[in-house]
Amino acid sequence: PGFLHFHLQLCIQSPDGKHQKGSIVACEGSVAQLRCGKITDKGEVIHVTSATYGRSDQKTCIAGQPANQISNIHCSRSSDKVGQRCNGKQHCNIGASNSMFGDPCVGTYKYLEVDYICYGEFSL
């Protein structure tokens, strides 16, 4: 018996039809996989717009977790580490872990939330 780890990725095209937007959640101990496809004839690259690690609700990443590990919902902190690692790349994997982001709330089961946009390499 182990814990169920998952990640969820949502990609939508922006209203101008030019840029794909991505949103991903990775539970603690799993890996967030950011991807930009080819929407135009140029390769699209990642631009992280926000990234937080911690816990801000009692609904995300709760499977198999005791109540005392998901009750602290005021322990989320923003991080620029995802952008530093992933901006300008077509694909990027980053672990949702205390070793990567520090531990904003000891004893709480955390998750990584990332929002990003895919741009043509020279459109920023």
pLDDT at 120: 77
- Where is pLDDT greater, at 44 or 26? 26
Domain boundaries, the chain: 7-120
- % of the chain surpassing 90 pLDDT: 70
pTM of the predicted model as reported, rounded to 2 decimal places: 0.80
Strand order in the sheet with 111-120: 7-13, 20-27, 111-120, 44-54, 77-78
Backbone angles phi, psi at 103, to 5 degrees: -110, 100
Q: Using 50, 70 and 90 to split pLDDT, how confident is the model at 43? A: confident
Q: How do residues 74-87 score in pLDDT, each as one tens digit?
A: 999 999 999 999 99
- Where is pLDDT greater, at 119 or 63? 63
Cα–Cα distances in angstroms (integers) from residue 39 to residues 36, 48, 91, 111, 116, in the given order: 9, 18, 14, 29, 15
The continuous run of DSSP H or E covering 64 comes out as: none
Domain 7-120, what fold? Jelly Rolls (2.60.120)
Q: Using 50, 70 and 90 to split pLDDT, how confident is the model at 122? A: low
pLDDT at 4: 38
Mean pLDDT of 29-46: 80
Name the residue with tokens 């496809």: 37
